[in-house]
């Protein structure tokens, strides 16, 4: 039931009706994968992606994830207000102040999650 929401309808229909396997390259092409890496490098690539995410503020990451997950069901006239309800507490957080200070001081931030 989720496949037609992730890929074009005709592609989802073909996959469902044939049951055929698809390659990693095809999965990337239709948007089911973010990246394709050489054989044997999947773990290293996943760890690099995780490090990139973890380097960001945890409150910001959580807010971004929540918005991306929930926004599909929001009415168009409420998009900005619902997003603001989620992000404004992040802007008022200790982590927001730490991020600005770290940037000004040209150092890596030390996130507290508060």
Structure-token pair, residue 38 = 């050489």
Q: How confident is the model at residue 94 (pLDDT cuts 50, 70, 90)?
A: very high
6-56 tens-digit pLDDT:
999 999 999 999 999 999 999 999 999 999 999 999 999 999 999 999 999
Give the 3-state secondary structure of residue 88: helix
Distances (CA, A) of 92 to 18, 60, 85, 101, 102: 52, 11, 12, 14, 16
pLDDT of amino acid 111: 95
Q: What pLDDT, on a 0 to 100 scale, did the predictor assign at position 28?
A: 96
Closest CA to 39 of 50, 49, 24, 51: 24
Q: Which domains does the chain have, with CATH numbers?
A: 1-37 (no CATH), 51-114 (1.10.12.10)
* pTM for this entry: 0.79
């Amino acid at each position: 039931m989720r496949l037609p929401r992730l890929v074009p309808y005709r592609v989802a229909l073909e996959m469902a009706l044939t049951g055929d396997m698809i390659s990693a390259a095809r999965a990337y092409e239709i948007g089911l994968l973010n990246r394709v890496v050489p054989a044997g490098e999947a773990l290293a690539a996943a760890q690099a992606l995780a490090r990139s995410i973890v380097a960001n503020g945890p409150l910001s990451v959580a807010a971004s994830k929540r918005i991306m997950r929930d926004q599909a069901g929001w009415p168009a006239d409420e998009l900005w207000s619902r997003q603001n309800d989620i992000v404004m507490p992040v802007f008022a957080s200790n982590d927001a102040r730490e991020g600005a200070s770290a940037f000004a001081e040209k150092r890596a931030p030390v996130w507290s999650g508060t």
